Structure 1
Amino acid sequence: MTAQALENILESAVFPKLFHRETVAMTDSLKVAEYFGKRHDNLLRILNNLNCSKEFSHLNFKAAKYTDEQGKKRPMFLMTQDGFTLLVMGFTGKKAMQFKEAYIKKFNQMKSWITSRANLKNDQRRLNDAIKFSIEKQGKDDPHAYSRENNLVYCVALGMSKKKWLEMHRHPKDADIRQFLTENQLKLVDELLSENAVMIKLGFSYSRRKAQLIETTLHHFRQAQGANQ
């Protein structure tokens, strides 16, 4: 089972009720017990003995009551997704192991995204240095050089300037675009920034650099498409 498939199952079976964006996804101990094939009284015992910090418990678990088939009030717990994750990490069995594997995969994907974002920051600095080098070499001021070269990279990679992309996706126009890009987009922009910096230092014309960046982007998309087949 893929990580995405497992995530979809969890959302429908364990987290069926997603509240408004300003709140958090919640589930309860009854749904968790049913999904993982555990007795609810045993699960309550586990929850009462988690030994997590008071702060974490306060933020992620809440004692509650439900009415059973005989009309009696019984104890249960409400929990956030963080609370659910902490709980399930102590489970054994096939479903629990599938969840753990999917969780690890997601964690590694996040680490990879963070690395790509850091690389993009470094290559942005490299491009800025190359532009400065070119201006000093030509001996004349070019006040639009930085915006022009950055627009070139983002227009080729994303099909539009940073400003337009942020506006289209309803983000603040002065926001750092890196936090909103996917890992694949980050890698492409990173590659184009680095390549453009090298070509600027070599004295390539704007049209020649643009053509090369487009070719690099097409190659990137072909590779990504091949990897998904």
Structure 2
Amino acid sequence: MTLVQITGKKNEEQLTTTSRLIAEIFEKRHSDVIRAIENLECSQDFTERNFALSDYKDDSGKSNKEYIITKDGFVMLAMGFTGEKAFKFKEQYINAFNSMERELKRIYEERQQWVIEREKGKLVRHILTDTIKMKVADSPNKKFMYPNYTKLIYKILFGKSFNELKEIYQIKAKESLRDYISSEELKELEQMEMLISSLINLGWSYEQIKEFIMQNQIKKLAC
């Protein structure tokens, strides 16, 4: 059973539990927990920030009241729960909140790293397109070189064609696959684009670069 959840809009998440879960864990009637919440002598500001009125449907389909509760709200409510069992359940809940706080911190750090890699990726992409522009001889196919290299990279990194990836990630028109992959995958993509830029600068053709990259990928998988 998950005691604490991460809820809210992206970048506005908070850790919450529910009055129903609290009733179940503390072995109380839900109606008694609701009453305890509504009898708390908290300021209106504190109540609005930490106890959000919500509802759920029971097995019969009837809509019933419940509260979505933050960590601060839980602490305030649980102060009124006494006894040996209550002490054990409080500790269990606090541990659950602390665990989810660490998880939320990890999520935020991953997002920050993703933003950094996404911005780096834009610069690396410009380097590759500029390299193609300056180093590849003019031909009717030159304008297709960047998209062809991109498709090659996707195939090597993800083992799927670009069209297959679009289906998997449900990418809409004008959206980029890069907005759907992790910071680590973005980093791998940047490294591959930098390698291709270097090989183009050495005068290698598309076919030579493709063969070199695919052979090295096979060696990496074999290690």
1:63–1:76 Cα contact (<8 Å) kept: yes
Aligned match of 2:18: 28
Task: Report how far residue 221 of structure 1 moved.
Answer: 6.2
2:121 matches 1:120: yes
- How do 1:1-229 residues align onto structure 2 when only pairs under 5 Å count? 9-10=1-2, 13=3, 28-32=18-22, 34-35=24-25, 40=33, 49=43, 51=45, 61-62=52-53, 76-77=66-67, 79=68, 84=70, 93-135=94-136, 138-140=137-139, 142-214=142-214, 217=217
**TM-score normalised to structure 1 length:** 0.60
Q: Which amino acid aligns with 2:18?
A: D
Residue segments in structure 1 that go unaligned for 5+ positions in a row: 1-8, 16-25, 67-73, 224-229
SS across alignment from 1:144: helix
* Residues 164/44 of structure 1: CA separation in 2 closer, same or farther (3 Å cut): same
SS across alignment from 2:53: strand
Q: How big is the alpha-carbon RMSD for the aligned residues of Structure 1 and Structure 2?
A: 4.4
SS across alignment from 1:51: helix
Could you tell me how far apart the structure 2 residues matched to 1:193 and 1:183 are? 15
**TM-score normalised to structure 2 length:** 0.61
Q: State which drifts further: 157-166 or 106-115.
A: 157-166
1:163–1:173 Cα contact (<8 Å) kept: no
* Residues 144/101 of structure 1: CA separation in 2 closer, same or farther (3 Å cut): closer
* Residues 132/180 of structure 1: CA separation in 2 closer, same or farther (3 Å cut): same
Could you tell me how far apart the structure 2 residues matched to 1:161 and 1:175 are? 16
Structure whose alpha-carbon radius of gyration is higher: 2
Identity %: 16
Alignment: residue pair count:
188
SS across alignment from 1:204: coil
* Residues 100/197 of structure 1: CA separation in 2 closer, same or farther (3 Å cut): same
Q: State which drifts further: 198-207 or 34-43.
A: 34-43
